[in-house]
Amino acid sequence: LDIHDDLKREVAFYNTALEAVNLARPKCQEFGIPFSRPEDFFVEMVKTDDHMANVKDRLIFENKKIEAVASRKSSKEQKLRAKESNSNRLAEKAKRKKDHFQEVEEWANS
C-alpha cells in the first residue's frame, strides 16, 4: 500500500472500519449493548473539511489525468486505424486500376 496515494489509503481505512463494524455489530446485539446514535447526534470529524477537499481535488485531478491519457491513446489508435484504412483503400484502387488496364490490354489484343 502506497501511503502517498490518498485514494488507496482512504479505501484501506474505509475497508478496515467496515470490517470492524461488521464484526462488532452482531456482538453488540448479542450482549444487548446499544450502538445506534440518536438522530440529532453531533460528532467532530477526525479530518478537517479542508483536508477532505484537498483529497477530493487530488482525486479529480488524477481522474482527469487518466482520462487525458486514455483520450490520447484513443486518438493515436484512431489515427493508426485511419492510416491503415487509407492505405487499404489506395491499394484496392491501385489493384482495380491494374485489373482494368489488364482487361483493356486483353481486349485490345483480342
Domain residue spans of the chain: 7-36, 65-109
What does the DSSP assignment read for 48-82?
-HHHHHHHHHHHHHHHHHHHHHHHHHHHHHHHHHH
Q: pLDDT confidence of 49, banded at 50, 70, 90?
A: confident
Q: Write the pLDDT tens digit of every residue in 63-76.
A: 999 999 999 999 99
Query: What's the chain's Rg over C-alpha atoms?
Result: 33
Give the pLDDT score at 58: 94
14, 54, 70: which is closest to 1 by C-alpha?
A: 14
Whether the predicted pLDDT of 1 surpasses 80 = no
Is 46:91 a contact under the CB 8 Å cutoff? Answer: no
What angle, rounded to 10 degrees, do the helices at 6-31 and 49-109 form?
Answer: 120
Grid coordinates standing for 22? 461488521
Q: Write the pLDDT tens digit of every residue in 56-104.
A: 999 999 999 999 999 999 999 999 999 999 999 999 999 999 999 999 9
pTM: 0.43
Give the pLDDT score at 92: 95
Q: Which residues contact 8 (CB under 8 A, 6 or more apart)?
A: 1, 2
Give the pLDDT score at 37: 82
